[in-house]
Structure 1
């Protein structure tokens, strides 16, 4: 089986160090890193880091899992661990990048008493009327992070708590304020972790249900409640997400991708991809390459 890493994996973009500071977080201005790379942070991902990108002034083209969005209003982009992403900023863009290691996320989830779902999925949250408060919060965070004042860690954690409360409130507001039972949320979170760990093995739904201590019917009910799709559909979506990534960002052949994703043969993989996406893998790759070429010619 061919083993590749089609998308670069960094701790912080462009760095090979495991973690640059003794802290469990890292805070920096957009200018400090992006200006070193001509304001273009290219496609990459982080294995166990959640990032919050705060855009205060300027504009950016944000690409998340192959989908590009142009943003010019003040906002916070959530980038979960393992999410493939890139940023292309207009020169002089102002804002901050805040990175959390997994242990720190776990610590704050323990303090909140529940999973911070707002950090588990990519999303772009406009700050709207909270712009001045959010800007002051990030500015103070960076100042504290770079300093060595008395009770520095306590101050940093207090500021992060305030930021996470704000983000969580936006998440709840977008869900209409509906609070689902915490146990069901925990089950779905565990299902997501199992799926992330085993999607290439293409385990049957019955095996996921067994490991979660549920019936297949109950698992499907929860999947429909939280995601609007069956467990099998979610398993297929995860396979397609990885297939799209590899077609977009790697030079692997269709046969190699098929093998890497656990399909018995490339023909079956191609039929599966066409059924899910609407076009064959080769057509999808060619169309993406043509679009990128056209964009480059327009610059």
Structure 2
């Protein structure tokens, strides 16, 4: 079972550790509805199996994603994948919505569209540009339908959400087209889920490959072609991400952090961290903007 790291709350919706999404596996609310209660600041936190889309219609949103800060001052949609540490600060003129999707809803969308929604796998901000009026109408209709109880509500929500996801997916112009089979993509997703569940155990690539029913060579080739990294690098990058989260958002000592991530001793962890990041753990902690 997932548990919150010290200093990084693990919420369903912000401030609600036990609240569940409704039967739609979808939640929609205005930015003001929740942020006003917290003095316009949503402090860094993460969600276990929830994808969020922050839609900024107008106003200013200061966004913090994994310790990196940016500002949204134009209509845009910010993608926040599950388990991504994120926080927001809004000015009082903010208008927009937060859409939250359960993992089952995302899986249903992928099945309906016939391909994985890779656009939702990484945090990124998508300016709406000339499409802002059209997207505002779409999201406003989604909000009204979500709050209502009209006949065929589920079908209408499904149509509106699908349209929104198609628009977001089309914004990935900077990524080269992929010609991999759906089976390969499914294998990669399964591997990434296995890594997410077991990265602290430092299992060999052979073990992951065996669980997927393929060889380690096949897994390495799959990862290199679809992610640009070896299978081992995928594991190491996940460990590095968690190390950075702990260094920025917790006061754990290097020894505690090393134990938490499954390293045999702090010296080995420090060498691992410096090799991958170019900084010592303490150096990174001192230079982190949120430390």
Taking the TM superposition and a 5 Å limit, the aligned residue runs for 1:41-80 are 41-80=42-81
* CA distance in 2: counterparts of 1:123 and 1:23, whole angstroms: 25
Matched residue, 1:144: 145
Aligned partner of residue 48 in structure 2, secondary structure: coil
Q: Is the 8 A contact 1:31 1:92 kept in 2?
A: no
Matched residue, 2:217: 217
Residues 217 and 23 of structure 1: CA distance in aligned 2, closer, same or farther (over 3 Å): closer
Q: Is the 8 A contact 2:67 2:290 kept in 1?
A: no
Displacement of 1:21 in angstroms is 3.7
* CA distance in 1: counterparts of 2:185 and 2:290, whole angstroms: 39
Matched residue, 1:174: 174
Matched residue, 1:108: 109
Displacement of 1:150 in angstroms is 1.7
* CA distance in 2: counterparts of 1:156 and 1:4, whole angstroms: 32
Displacement of 1:91 in angstroms is 2.0
Displacement of 1:273 in angstroms is 0.9
Q: Is the 8 A contact 1:78 1:121 kept in 2?
A: yes
Q: Is the 8 A contact 2:11 2:46 kept in 1?
A: yes
Greater share of residues in helix = 1
* CA distance in 2: counterparts of 1:240 and 1:98, whole angstroms: 29
Residues 251 and 74 of structure 1: CA distance in aligned 2, closer, same or farther (over 3 Å): same
Displacement of 1:180 in angstroms is 3.0
Q: Does 1:157 align with 2:158?
A: yes
Displacement of 1:176 in angstroms is 4.0
Q: Is the 8 A contact 2:249 2:290 kept in 1?
A: no
Q: Give a deviation string over 1:115-167, Cα, whole Å, max 9, x none.
A: 22222222211222211111101111111111111221111111111111112
* CA distance in 2: counterparts of 1:18 and 1:256, whole angstroms: 31
* CA distance in 2: counterparts of 1:57 and 1:120, whole angstroms: 26
Aligned partner of residue 174 in structure 1, secondary structure: coil
Matched residue, 2:38: 37
Matched residue, 2:246: 246
Structure 2 spans left out of the alignment, 5+ residues? none
Q: Give a deviation string over 1:35-60, Cα, whole Å, max 9, x none.
A: 22121111001111111111111222
* CA distance in 2: counterparts of 1:201 and 1:283, whole angstroms: 26
The TM-score normalised by the length of structure 1 is: 0.91
RMSD: 1.8
* CA distance in 2: counterparts of 1:214 and 1:180, whole angstroms: 16
